[in-house]
Amino acid sequence: MTFDRSNLEHVARLAMLDLSDDELDSLAKDLDHVLSHFEAIQKIDVSDIDDTDLAKTITTPLRADTPAGSLSNEEATKQSARAEGGLFVVPKVIG
């Protein structure tokens, strides 16, 4: 399949990325080129690997559920471009 500008516009919306007109053109071309090279993996027989095989080596470590220290409110909000009263301030979400 080919990957064109309309595919890219859809993916850019999903990725929350503002792209310029020039970027839409050049990145669509780049991704089309990259994906056509990556078609090679479609030819590899993976029928012997079950979907559930992929999770078999992963284990989740557990720890005791005991309270521990963390960043203070001040430290956690210090790097924000806009924070007030220990909260992150963002543009209005509901009109």
Partner 1 sequence: MDLTRATITEIAAALDAGSLASTDLVEHTLRETGRLEPEVHAFLHVRDRESLLREAKESDAARRSGGVTSPLAGIPVAIKDNICTIGTPTTAGSRILEGFQSAYDATVIEKLKAAGALILGKCNLDEFAMGSSTENSAYGPTTNPWDPARVPGGSSGGSAAAVAAGMAFTALGSDTGGSIRQPAALTGVVGLKPTYGTVSRRGLIAFGSSLDQIGPLARCVADAALVFDAIAGNDPRDATSADIATGSACDTLHDSIDTIRVGVPRQSWGEGLDAGVEASVRSALDQLGPAVAEITAIDLPLLEASIPAYYLVATAEASANLSRFDGVRYGLRDKQAGTLDEMYKRTRGHGFGTEVKRRILLGTHALSSGYYDAYYLRAMKVRRKIADDFARAFETCDVIALPATPTPAFPIGEQIDDPITMYRNDLYTIAANLAGLPAISIPCGLHDDTLPLGVQLMAPRFEESRLLRVASHWEAKLGTLGRPPRISANGGDAR
Q: Which residues contact partner 1 (rule: CB under 8 A)? A: 3, 7-8, 10-12, 14-20, 23, 27, 30-31, 33-35, 37-38, 40-42, 44, 46, 48-49, 51, 53-54, 60-61, 63, 71, 75-82, 88, 90-93
**Distance set, CA 66 to CA 59, 60, 62, 92 (Å):** 21, 18, 12, 37
CB of 4 to partner 1, least distance (A): 12
Compare residues 63 and 85 and give the one whose CB is closer to partner 1. Answer: 63
State phi, psi for 51 to the nearest 5 degrees. Answer: -55, -40
CB of 14 to partner 1, least distance (A): 5
Neighbours of 28 (CB within 10 A): 21
DSSP assigned state of 11? H
- Structure tokens given for 45: 């027989």
CB of 67 to partner 1, least distance (A): 14
